Amino acid sequence: MKIARFGSLFALAALLVSSSCAKTPPVSAADKEAAEIRGALSKLPEEDRKLAEEQKTCPVGHSALGSMGTPIKVDVGGKPVFICCEGCRKSLLADYEKSKAAADGAAGEAPADEKPAGT
Ligand SMILES: [Zn+2]
């Protein structure tokens, strides 16, 4: 029977696929990354480590802080911000300057929302 033969071949193929998949479970890769992140963050001073853990991801590259080595602390307008790698510093500061300029521009235009309260 043609169909029966095809069925057994399919079963064999499924068996081969499932056995090869079992060699690389995705869990171990995630565990490895988590361990790397913990290791990278542990190199920071206690205070910085807490801040980096709270921030979790790089605002520029959006990768997990610590996944590319010890995160770098950057002072952005007096506020500490952590980035995943040195390459993100330029973009972070450029974005800050841009948003600061936009905020200054908006403030200069003086929105007419607020009406003087009575007389
Ligand atoms: Zn980054």
For residues 70 and 86, give the distance between their C-alpha atoms in angstroms, rounded to a whole number: 10
C-alpha 40 to ligand 1 mean position (Å): 14
- Closest by alpha carbon to 71, among 80, 60, 84, 59? 84
Residue-range definition of the domain harbouring residue 87: 29-106
Judge whether residue 4 has pLDDT over 70.
no
In a domain, 99, yes or no: yes
117 — pLDDT class (breaks 50, 70, 90): low
In a domain, 86, yes or no: yes
pLDDT: which is higher, 119 or 39? 39
Does residue 69 sit in helix, strand or coil?
strand
106 — pLDDT class (breaks 50, 70, 90): confident
In a domain, 52, yes or no: yes
Beta strands in 1-119 (DSSP E): 72-76, 79-83
C-alpha 101 to ligand 1 mean position (Å): 23
pLDDT value of residue 107: 75
Average pLDDT, the chain: 84
Q: What is the mean pLDDT of residues 7-27?
A: 61
Q: Do 106 and 98 contact (CB within 8 A), yes or no? A: no
pLDDT value of residue 13: 62
In a domain, 78, yes or no: yes
Q: Express each pLDDT in 32-76 by its tens digit.
A: 999 999 999 999 999 999 999 999 999 999 999 999 999 999 999
Domain count, the chain: 1
Q: Which residues surround ligand 1, an ion (CB under 5 A)?
A: 58, 60-61, 83-85, 88
